[in-house]
Amino acid sequence: VVEMDQLIAEREGRSISDIFETYGEEYFRNMETNLLIEMQEKKNVIISCGGGVAMRERNVAEMKKNGRVVLLTAKPETILDRVKDSHDRPLIENNKTVSFIAELMEKRREKYEAAADIVIETDGKDELQICEELIHRLRQMDNK
């Protein structure tokens, strides 16, 4: 499992927020793209990408070269509950509200849905239920 944000932070020796603050969002987004390209050499890998990755068409093309793109989604209230104690999300750090998250989700929705091969609603489901649904959906795709 590759957690893109974590790997980028480790390689840079600083947090995502520090990268944004020091070098800017464009620098960070370029690092994401380069990491996706690098990951094409790997097999049997789950790549967990941050929310902005699918906003670049180039990134979506790179993701699709190496496998299936899965969108895990939830209601804004659920997302707020999951991220309220996190300080590694610079775009929402000072905007941890349901309305801001809903607005950001709506801005990204079209590109997210266009990128996704599979969409899984995660509200009210535990990790096992989500994994079981994902495996079922992947098997369905493989049988087509």
Average pLDDT value for residue range 42-68: 89
Average pLDDT in the chain: 90
Q: Evaluate if residue 112 carries a pLDDT over 80.
A: yes
Give 76-97 pLDDT, tens digit per residue: 999 888 887 776 776 666 677 8
pLDDT at 109: 92
Average pLDDT value for residue range 13-19: 92
| CB 98 within 8 Å of CB 79 | no
pLDDT at 93: 66
Q: Evaluate if residue 21 carries a pLDDT over 80.
A: yes
The lowest-confidence range among 20-34, 91-105, 112-126 is: 91-105
The lowest-confidence range among 33-42, 43-52, 82-91 is: 82-91
